[in-house]
Amino acid sequence: MNSKTKGLLKLIGAIIVIGVIGFIAIRGIGEDKAGSASDVSLGLDLAGGVSVTYEIVDKDATDEQISDTVYKMQLRSQNFSNEAQVSTEGANRITVSIPSVTDADEVLKGLGSAGNIYFIYGMGQSGTKNIETYFDEETSEYKTQLVASRTIADIEADGDVVIDGKDIASAKAVVDQDQYSGIEYKVQLDLNAEGREKFASATSYSYGYVNASGDDALRNIIAIVYDNEVVSAPHVAAVITDGKAVISGQKTNEEASLLASTIRIGALPLELSVLRYYVEGAQLGSDALNRSLIAGAIGFAAIILIMIFLYRVAGVSASLALTFYIGLVVICLNLFQVTLTLPGIAGIILSIGMAVDANVIIFTRIQEEIATGKTVRSSIKLGFSKALSAIIDGNVTTIIAAIVLYYLGSGTVKGFAQTLAIGIILSMITALFVTKFLLGALFDLGADKPVLYGKKREVKTLNIAGNFKKFLLISGGVIAVGIIAVIINFATIKTPFSYGLDFSGGTVTAFTLNDGVPAGIQSEVEAIVLEKTGMNAEVSVASAENTVRIKTKELSTDLRANLISAISSKYNVGNENITTETVGATVSSEMKKDALIAVIVATIGMLLYIWIRFKNINFGTSAVFALIHDVLVVLTVYAVARAFITVGNTFIACMLTIVGYSINATIIIFDRIRENLELRRTQNTTQEIVDISITQTFSRSIYTSLTTLVMVVLLAILGVRSVREFAIPLMAGILCGFFSSVCLAGGMWYFLQRKFRAKESKN
């Protein structure tokens, strides 16, 4: 078989595979269209969901108890989706919104009745039995229940309640590998300080009956009761003094997860009762997703054209590989049941940018090798080989960040981390294997002429390190503008930024139309709200209930009256059928703290990785310096443009995207500096090596920034207002990421090298 036939067969095979992946991503498999884009779960912002409002039973609840309850309800609701939102409403209500769900009964059943949870003695010191065993004929299993004559009130009065919900810090399912019995499914229980002391005393008592028989064996049991049902009745196998207990005996991971979830459900500082529930419409409007998809499709087409224009045949192989990559991302979103939101789209945009970046790095290397006179075959081989370390380092640092953000973050942060991790792993596989396979097929078909791979443009060596102080002054000036803007904002609006509804809460106005919801009502209502209140609004429509909900910043009494009057007049709705409620922020202080801790830990993890890989702490320090610079510049944009851009739920995703982009862009340059240092010629000083390295990667920096920017600019142009509020700061982040990686990171590394070497020489 000659090479052309071999190349043709490889190309046909690859196109068939890409076609199958594309078909699944577009149409899906089976009647339920599994694997298709239409089967991807969408978040509240894109598709709406179910909203449940609870009322706090205790009228004297403190702010701290309410805040703690909101946070724990957030953890509970994440059993449905990482993108669930929890907020306060008025003074004594908590609202839970679950995306991609249309059955309110399913949510109510899954969330539970929000009663408290109790850990009780099977038999207390008084000798009264609290639990008993019975045979369930339906399941043919022995089960445990409360003794019919005993209530929780009785058990509590007898002092047989060990701990309750307020004593529990967390509960999660874990899987252990036991050398004798194999895999064990357990629940890890963590107690707070008060619960720790109670549990130590209780387990000390129960452990004394570890070998008891008859009714006394019940004394060795601490049963878990939720809604008057015994959900687990574990024996006490040790005295537990550190507040960390393990509940074993679950048959499957699902069973362990359900028990952990039940404990979390009951572990609330306050008792709640269901007040109302309804189906909620999309927060960003019905056309937000369609506009974003159109922007993405146009942007992707533009990227393909740019890649083919710059890299000819190699660009064709990259375009096919990127098409394959997009299909895989859609299928994986289904496979891992990821709920897609606007922040999730941010993660995908970043991973697409890094997928393009990997190809740009490889193709630039190929052009460099061809320019030295090597054959195309040899250049392709060397291009992939020399690009490997830069691609791996850039992607691994971002994956480290994604893993940390997923495990330490909550809500939006988790969703962003999921889509980012999926995208990064797939982009690396696609660039290193799929692109290489396709390029090999095209080469075998006869694409073996250097001209078919584009020409490496010679660029005069840039004087970057020598102008580092000038670049630093420019950056300092921009950040100083941000500091001044923050001071002005404090003086005028009492906050550093203009906070959106997710961060500050506001007013929800709702009304129901008797004759159905007309098309285009969202934009119509937005215009009414802007005219009557001077505020932008989030308008969602629950078509099944003909209900329109308007969320704005908190309205004064006069503004509420103006809005109600306008709605009543426009839609012929009686004032008594229009309700208004004050709602709290959906991004709680705990979620902000989780996000901040996750970012700090992720940054430390990336710093350590860079230090280990590059064997020089100055590389890691300089990368973090560039990262902090980019974050401060984007915060400047939020402060200066507060009239147009608010700090909302997408703010966290935007900042995380910039962090990932900044680190990746910087590492590519550092990788080239490291390589050139290893190949150092005596005539090149360290400063010259820095400048040469930045110059060699300059085209890569431009092309990667350009292709990523195309996607974001189109989102800003074609997207709805909320999408633009996300896209504009992201554009600023991409531009300052280019500036910091090219103009600051290398110069900072050189500055640190000189400074510490000078100290060493003095010593």
Question: CA 258 → CA 120, 221, 262, 408, distances in Å?
Answer: 20, 20, 6, 21
Provide the phi-psi class of 337: left if phi over 0, else alpha when psi is between -120 and 50, else beta. left
Beta carbons within 8 Å of 657's beta carbon, 6+ residues apart: 346, 347, 349, 350, 416, 730, 733
Is 465-483+588-758 a domain of CATH 1.20.1640.10?
Answer: yes
Per-residue pLDDT of 180-201, as tens digits, reads: 556 788 899 999 888 999 999 9
pLDDT of residue 738: 92
Distance CA(686)–CA(556), nearest Å, equals 63
pLDDT of residue 763: 44
Q: Please list the residue range(s) of the chain that carry CATH number 3.30.70.100.
A: 506-583
pLDDT of residue 281: 62
| The one-letter amino acid at 411 | G
| CA nearest to 511, candidates 464, 535, 545, 537 | 545
For the chain, how far is it from start to end, CA to CA, in angstroms? 68
Q: What is the DSSP letter of 577?
A: G
Pairing of strands 222-226, 117-121: antiparallel
The enclosing H or E element of 341 equals none
Q: Please list the residue range(s) of the chain that carry CATH number 3.30.1360.
A: 117-267
- CATH, range 117-267: 3.30.1360
Q: What is the DSSP letter of 509?
A: E
pLDDT of residue 611: 86
pTM above 0.75, yes or no: no
Pairing of strands 244-250, 182-191: antiparallel
pLDDT of residue 573: 83
Contact assessment for residue 186 and residue 174, using Cβ atoms and an 8 Å cutoff: yes
| The one-letter amino acid at 537 | A
Question: CA 273 → CA 93, 111, 277, 531, 750, distances in Å?
Answer: 9, 12, 12, 38, 62
Residue 22, CA atoms < 13 Å, CB-side half-sphere: 11
pLDDT of residue 319: 92
Q: Please list the residue range(s) of the chain that carry CATH number 1.20.1640.10.
A: 3-40+285-453, 465-483+588-758
- CATH, range 506-583: 3.30.70.100
Contact assessment for residue 625 and residue 111, using Cβ atoms and an 8 Å cutoff: no
CATH of 49-114, one of 3.40.1160.10, 3.30.70.3400, 3.30.70.100, 3.40.50.360: 3.30.70.3400
**For tokens 């957030």, what's the residue?**
74
Contact assessment for residue 540 and residue 280, using Cβ atoms and an 8 Å cutoff: yes
Token readout for 721 is 């207002």
Distance CA(289)–CA(298), nearest Å, equals 14
DSSP-derived 3-state class of residue 500: coil
Beta carbons within 8 Å of 220's beta carbon, 6+ residues apart: 122, 206, 207, 209, 210, 212, 235, 236
- CATH, range 3-40+285-453: 1.20.1640.10
- Within the chain, which residues score under 70 in pLDDT? 1, 45, 47, 79, 82, 102-106, 108-115, 177-182, 265-267, 278-289, 343, 346, 350, 410-412, 543-545, 586-591, 649, 680-683, 720, 722, 757-763
**For tokens 């103006």, what's the residue?**
562
Token readout for 439 is 């390029």
pLDDT of residue 745: 94
At 645, give phi and psi (nearest 5°). Answer: -125, 125
DSSP characters for 171-229? EEEEEEEETTTEEEEEEEEEE-HHHHHHHHHHHHHHHTTTT--GGGGGGGBEEEEETTE
- Name 224's bridge partners: 119, 232
| CA nearest to 428, candidates 483, 352, 484 | 352
